[in-house]
Amino acid sequence: MRAVARANTNIALVKYWGKRDTALNLPAVGSLSLTLDGLSTRTTVVFDGKLAADSLLLNGADADERALGRVSKFLDLVRTRAGLIERARVESVNDFPTAAGLASSASAFAALAVAATHAAGLELSDRELSILARRGSGSAARSIFGGFSQMHRGESADGEDSFAEPIVTDWDVRLVIAATMTGRKATLSTDGMRHTAETSPYYDAWVKMSERDLGTARDAITRRDLQALGEVTEASCLSMHASAMAARPAVLYFVGATIEGYRIIQDLRRSGVPAWFTCDAGPHVKALTDAAHAQQVEAALAKLGKTWICRPGPHAEVLE
Ligand code: DP6
């Protein structure tokens, strides 16, 4: 009734933004991501008949009500499936500084899906784990897998065709992260994407475009064409943010340092360095590049804040 699991976070190259169903957390668009080495969540789950309620410890401190509620709801899915009534104690630790604002629901719900099902005695396939992780957070469905993976939007109402799949695990690219550290609390992605879908005149255009971007990115990965992948990565990110900025009122995640990072990456490219910008529901700057240029890209972004060079990361796994 106890298990420990680890999952790594991932960065979407073709973004997920918008849902076709909120109850089952089904995405309105497919997405494509790279799982990152060195940024992982380690989660312990213990189901115990003596517990009166679920509890959640995040990096050694009691989690707030919203986080506990989300985890408890997720555990209900596992309990129902396994026929359990026991409450659980969950402990989750990130091996990267949470203060840097890189804490991710992707690694968190992927690790929770693996640990909770294992502790409950369930044996799920990777696809079933991905479908389950999606219920916690859309991006978590992709963190079950290592390397590049693609999340399918799916068509069915029950969401059984909305899961991620690995594409390629042996292409050794790099993702450089610069945490701009503004300390500002961003709009949570769940809220930001709902508001965009409800009010942005550009939302439909975003959904339409992302289908084409997915095909382009997948094709680029198959051919190991970094330039083609980089170009569609940057375009998908900026289209997502454009749809959010056009919401009323606007959902704006960029700060000054984000734009500065974008300019730095553009200048690097003009000088012949292969690097492309991406950014999620926060102000941090991420650059896709290759192994030979990662340090140069990191040095150029270092003035924005703390930096990491990430290699492709591993598949989620049971540790104990
Ligand atoms: C901008 O997976 O956090 O990072 O499903 O509501 O939990 P929920 O959303 P979440 O959204 C991620 C948004 C993004 C793009 C991406 O990772 O694809």
Is the sign of the CA dihedral 21, 315, 108, 216 positive or negative?
negative
pTM for the model: 0.97
Cα(152) to ligand 1 centroid in Å equals 14
Tokens of 304: 């924005």
Q: Where are the domains of the chain?
A: 2-170, 176-310
What does each C-alpha distance from 134 to 60, 68, 150, 220 come to in angstroms? Answer: 25, 17, 13, 26
What is the best residue among 74, 132, 139 to mutate for testing ligand 1's pocket, by most ligand atoms within 8 Å of CB? Answer: 139
What is the best residue among 189, 193, 233, 237 to mutate for testing ligand 1's pocket, by most ligand atoms within 8 Å of CB? Answer: 189
Q: What are the two backbone dihedrals, phi and then psi, of residue 41, each rounded to the nearest 5 degrees?
A: -120, 135
CATH tag for 2-170 (out of 3.20.20.70, 3.30.465.10, 2.30.30.90, 3.30.230.10): 3.30.230.10
CA distance 302 to 100: 14
* Amino acid letter, residue 274: P
Whether 154 is in the pocket of ligand 1, judged by its Cβ within 6 Å, is no
Q: Residue 243: which pLDDT band, with cuts at 50, 70 and 90?
A: very high
Cα(190) to ligand 1 centroid in Å equals 7
DSSP helix/strand/coil, 284 = coil
Q: Indicate if the pLDDT at residue 227 is higher than 90.
A: yes
Residue partners of 259: CB distance under 8 A and separation at least 6: none
CA distance 234 to 285: 11
CA distance 204 to 39: 33
CA distance 247 to 108: 28
The answer to whether 181 touches 305, Cβ cutoff 8 Å, is yes
Q: Atom 12 of ligand 1 has which residue's CA nearest to it?
A: 139
Whether 281 is in the pocket of ligand 1, judged by its Cβ within 6 Å, is yes
Domains 2-170 and 176-310 share a fold: no
Classify domain 176-310 by CATH number.
3.30.70.890
DSSP 169: S
The answer to whether 239 touches 206, Cβ cutoff 8 Å, is yes
DSSP 312: B
Q: Report the pLDDT averaged over residues 207-233.
A: 98
Tokens of 191: 């809220």
Which atom of ligand 1 is the closest one to the Cα of 106?
2
Please report the pLDDT score of residue 181 as a whole number: 74
Q: Please write the tens of the pLDDT for every residue from 146-182.
A: 999 999 999 999 999 999 999 998 999 999 999 997 6
The answer to whether 18 touches 196, Cβ cutoff 8 Å, is yes
Please report the pLDDT score of residue 283 as a whole number: 93
Please report the pLDDT score of residue 131 as a whole number: 98
* Residue of 126, 182, 174 whose CA lies nearest to 297: 174
DSSP helix/strand/coil, 2 = strand
